[in-house]
Every structure is written in structure tokens, then in C-alpha cells.
Structure 1
């Protein structure tokens, strides 16, 4: 399979998980609403279900801020009830008004952290396993991690700056295309191809399970 097709399938799976996971969450909320009338209790229960993914999400923010020297000051992993709302995990770190690049990198860190976590999971070779509870546990972790690897609106407040910046970089590449030999391009493509092919079964699993949840709920 060519690297172009592989990346296209990867992007398609990511987009699919983004929309299906949110739709599955909305349907789950409606089902729980019929059983439990208290919105706050439902949100707290759902946040506990997604807790492993929340941990990866917030730790990714924290590590990203730490690596980029943005001095993280506080990390909250457990959901907390504040007034009439359930507050999920959060990370507080230094923000500089004109340093949007580092803010963007910290904002998208959960996506990278989620992919790396899925890669680590599959390296254990315990999914799918011969023991039912093991398969169930790892399937649950795959779902919660993949559903939480997308950044929230608050995380991406600086992404608007990324569009003109990306267009500028693309324009520079168009004016001054890099002269790389096919062998060098192949060497660059190999690790990308390996990484995507490794985690693709987990992404497909997440995609299928979320689609099934939407149908049955």
C-alpha cells in the first residue's frame, strides 16, 4: 500500500472516530437521561467511564507544556462537581499572548499522546487476547483513549493562527520545493508507514464499536 493511500485511510479513520465518538456520547446521554433525571449525576458518571482517556488527555497537555518550557502549574485528573457543572480534568500552564505556536502544540498534544498510547497498547500484544476480561479491558481502554484524543474548543483557541501560518509554509514549499532523492523520501516514509499500520487495527476497532453503539442506542 502506498504511503499516500495509507495516510488517506488514517485521516479518514480519525475523522470517523471524531464524529462517531461524539454521536455515541450524545446517544448514551439521552439513554441515561431516561433512567437518571439528574444531569449532573449523568455527566459525572460519563466522565468516570471516560476517565482513562481523560488521564492520557491531561497528561499529554502537561508533558507538552513541560517540554515546551511553558511551566505547567496545576493538573487536575479527576472530575469535580462545581456548582451545577461537572468539571473534567484540566492543566494550567503559562500562556504568552504572542507565542501562539507553543500554545497550539500544547493544544494538540492529546492527539499525539493518544496515538502514542494506542501504539504502546498494541505493543503489549495482549489485544485481542485469549482471556475474555483481558480483551474487554483493552477494548475499553482503546475506546476511551481514542474518544479523548481530540482537543476541546478551549484547547484550540490559538488554532486560528495555524491556518495562515500553514498556508505561508505551503507557499514557501511551492516556491522552493525541497530536492530530496527517492531513497531519502522512502527513508522518511518508512517510520510513518510503520506507525500508522501498527495502530490502524485499533483505530478501526474504535470506529466499528462506536458505529455499533450508535445503532443499538
Structure 2
């Protein structure tokens, strides 16, 4: 896969991924709020579901910070509600450092989560045939591939881990804080390399591994979209049943 194709695939899957992930998080919180009728208790149950994903997210922050020689303070897997009303599922406190190391620490959960999602999807659930069937438009093959993925006794456990990790790996706003200056720096560097005629040589060296890395993230995004498209109807039906029984409803 070329670098351009990998980036195109990544951006093609990013928007639906963000939309589906947002829907999942809001409606799962809504279900627990309907069941408990208590914001704090609903938060506890909601956070417990995503605990493995949050642990990987915050753990990857901590590991990369230590590798880069950045001192860390507290690490928490317990949720906190932010001033804007959003829920922050965990955090790692680090010392203030340069924007390059801050950006690397911030992107760590996306990289770790993508690798975990691809490994679980391709090895534990063997969803490769499903992807090929989707690419070829083979509807029967899609169904057969999905059924084959859930034949093992532990497939539901792997599906759960895939779901919570994939929906916890996206960097938060604070994780993305240093991305803009790094992007500007890399853009200026690319322009400079182009004008001195060194861009082709650099691309020969880093183009293939960079395309592979972007491809892994794009694959993880695609798997996440597929999993969420399976989970969303289930969540929707459960929420509608609770609304019907309790007579309560949440306006999102």
C-alpha cells in the first residue's frame, strides 16, 4: 500500500468512527442512567465496562513518558467529569516538557490501541475474511465470516476486549494539545527538504514504514467501525426496552 492510499483510507474511516464512537458512549451512559437514576452510580457502571480500554490508554501514556525520560506523578483509572460536562475516564499526570515529547506521549494510546485492535481482530477473531468479503461486495461471505469469527468458546471475551479497547484508544483533547506545533514543524521540514531536493531520498527511507504504520491505524479504525455497527443495534434495542418499561427517556 502506498503512503497516499494509507492516508486516504485513514481519513475515510475517521469521520464515521468518531460519529459511531460518540453515539456508543452517550447511549451507554444513558442506559445506566435510566437503570440507576443516579448520575454517580451510572458513571461507576459505565466506567467499569471500559476499564480494560482505559487501563491500556493510560498505561501507554505512562510507559512512553517513562521511556522518554519524563517524570510522572499520579495515574488514575477513575472517571472525572470535566467543566464542560464531558466525562474523562482516566488520566496520567506528567511534568511539563517540550512539545515533541508531549505529542509522542499524547499519541501513545492511539498507537497501542490500534496494535491491540488489529491483533485481536486478525489473530483472536480472525476477521480477515470478513474484510475481504466487504471489499468484494460478497454479502454471503460477510455473514459466513462473521459466524466463523464467533465459533470459539472465548470469542465473546475477545469481542468485549476489542470493543472497549477500540472505543477507548482515541486521544483526548489534552492528548492532542501538542499536535499542532508538531504538524507545523513537520510541514516546514517537508517544504525545506523539497526545495533542497532531498524529499525523494527521505521518502525512500521512511515512506514504506510510515505507510505501514498509517495502515495499521486505518485497519484498526475499520475494525472498530465494524464492531460498533454490530453493537449499536443491540444498545439501541436495550435502551428502547428500558424506556418502554420505565417510562423514562433521555434527550441527548
TM-score, normalised on structure 1? Answer: 0.77
Indicate the residue corresponding to 1:110 in structure 2: 109
5+ residue gaps, structure 1, are none
1:90 aligns with 2:101: no
Contact 1:53 1:147 in 2 (8 A): yes
1:142 aligns with 2:162: yes
Q: Deviations over 1:95-152 (max 9, x none)?
A: 13xx1111111111111111222244356x3214564541111111111111111111
Structure 2 distance, partners of 1:110, 1:141, is 15
The Cα shift of 1:161 comes to 2.3
Contact 2:117 2:165 in 1 (8 A): yes
Contact 2:10 2:214 in 1 (8 A): no
Distance 1:158 1:42, change over 3 A: same
1:154 aligns with 2:183: no
Structure 2 distance, partners of 1:5, 1:52, is 32
TM alignment of 1:181-200, pairs within 5 A = 185=204, 188-189=207-208, 192-193=211-212, 196=215, 200=219
Q: C-alpha root-mean-square deviation of aligned residues, in Å?
A: 3.3
The Cα shift of 1:214 comes to 3.9
Q: Deviations over 1:153-203 (max 9, x none)?
A: 12223334234323322322332343547xx84995278448836982x54
SS of 2:92's equivalent in the other structure is: strand
Contact 1:108 1:151 in 2 (8 A): yes
1:126 is matched with which residue: 101, 124, 127? Answer: 124
Structure 1 distance, partners of 2:230, 2:119, is 25
TM alignment of 1:10-89, pairs within 5 A = 10-77=10-77, 79=78, 88-89=89-90
Contact 2:106 2:175 in 1 (8 A): yes
Structure 1 distance, partners of 2:212, 2:177, is 31
5+ residue gaps, structure 2, are 127-148, 237-252
Q: Deviations over 1:25-69 (max 9, x none)?
A: 112222333222111111111111111110110111011101111
Contact 1:122 1:198 in 2 (8 A): no
Contact 1:17 1:146 in 2 (8 A): no
TM-score, normalised on structure 2? Answer: 0.68
Indicate the residue corresponding to 1:175 in structure 2: 195
SS of 2:52's equivalent in the other structure is: helix
Structure 1 distance, partners of 2:52, 2:22, is 17
